[in-house]
Amino acid sequence: MSDDSRGTPAPPTSSDLAYRQVLDEVGAFVYTTDLQGHYTYANRLVLDLLRPGLRLDEVIGKAFTDFVKIDEDAELRQTDIRVLRDGETIYREEANLIHATGELRTYWSIKKPLRDADGAIVGMIGISHDITDKKRLEDAVRRHKDLLDTVLDSVDALVYMKDADGLFLYANQRVAQAFGRPAEAIIGCRDADLLPPEVAARFREVDRRILATRERSVSEEAVRDATGRECHYWSVVAPCAAPDGTPAVIGFSTDITELHELKEELQRQARTDSLTGIANRRTLFVEAQAAFSRSRRHGHTLSLIAIDLDHFKQINDRYGHPTGDEVLRDFAQACLDCLRKEDLLARTGGEEFCILLPETPLAHANATAERIREVAARICPGGRDTAPVTASIGVTCMEPADASFDQMFSRADKALYAAKAQGRDCVVAL
């Protein structure tokens, strides 16, 4: 590809034609320019790109800007200047608008200076690979990934993927918030790096079982978050394939902490007397039946105290119901101060209470009842100068002939009424 003295391209030799044929088949855009940026050579891909059917002789001596829209001060032009003037070799991605088709194409280009035998720069050689389709695919993948990330980060659930070795492959922002670290810092970690050992071991066992059986797991889980608060999750963990095709698990954990707390509160309310905060009648009978069975099975004693505050209606009538409620709360607290933590105090009616005392013989239960009667007398509804509260109390202990707790309860009730019949403010044991 030599020129004559007038700058007219010399006819190509057989060697030139052989080189051109090779360059036409390399699958890349190959061209050379002089110092002014005029083409001195372009292979078939370059010619067809500039204009389908274009001949080499129609390109030689023309500039890139004759075919591609570009401002003189544009970045692409500045790149060429750096090669031709400064002798740099440039590797970069370029986007060019082709005049003939009006299409924007993207290339990965290498531009190097051409030098003569003395090392002086005489032009530039460029080799470009069309990555338009690849770029479009990458952009589409990136858009889909961004969309998927947006969706998964907006889902009100912890979403994650772990490989067969327990390494996190993906974690959405909910997972990041739960662990108190960026999602990127979770990738590559194991449960043991993020959770207490016993919790991590439990999760790892679940993952192994899922991978072995290929069956999903559905369960409620309790985990402490980054602030130390116990959170409850409804988790669905299923087998799947990792991006490389290897076995993995994917998990979706929905935060049900508020629902769990509500359920706990409703259960507490179902077990508790709302006024005094102690157990209610239903809880007493459930717990007492279980205690009765344990005591019978192990040969332990079991005692029961039944209490009725004397003339309570008069307190309500004289001082009002708010004062009556305060008396009930004060009396419940006074009883608790006399009991062990294993004893159960329950409000079984308006001013009626029962105390279940496991592993307690009748004599000890009777002594406890007397203490309660004495502390009740310290409660004065109208102040220091008013009459104190008194209580009638019945006490009983499990007997060999008792077939159920109901018989104990009935006997304690009889003892209570016996105390009332004896003038109230006393303890009767049966």
Amino acid identity, position 100? A
Distance CA 63, CA 59 (A): 8
**Catalytic residue of the set 138, 184, 342, 351:** 351
Neighbours of 214 (CB within 10 A): 9
Q: Is 121 exposed, middle or buried (0-12, 13-18, 19+ CB in 10 A)?
A: middle
- For the question of residue 351 being annotated catalytic, the response is yes
**Residue pair 371/395 in contact by the 8 Å Cβ criterion:** no
Distance CA 414, CA 372 (A): 19
What secondary structure, in 3-state letters, does the chain show?
A: CCECCCCCECCCCHHHHHHHHHHHCCCCEEEEEECCCEEEEECHHHHHHHCCCCCHHHCCCCEHHHCECCCCCCHHHHHHHHHHHHCCCEEEEEEEEECCCCEEEEEEEEEEEEECCCCCEEEEEEEEEECHHHHHHHHHHHHHHHHHHHHHHHCCCEEEEEECCCCEEEECHHHHHHHCCCHHHHCCCCHHHHCCHHHHHHHHHHHHHHHHHCCCEEEEEEEECCCCCEEEEEEEEEEEECCCCCEEEEEEEEECHHHHHHHHHHHHHHHECCCCCCEEHHHHHHHHHHHHHHHHHHCCCEEEEEEEECCHHHHHHHHCHHHHHHHHHHHHHHHHHCCCCCCEEEECCCCEEEEEEECCCHHHHHHHHHHHHHHHCCCCCCCCCCCCCCEEEEEEECCCCCCCHHHHHHHHHHHHHHHHHCCCCCEEEC
Neighbours of 275 (CB within 10 A): 15
Catalytic residue IDs: 351
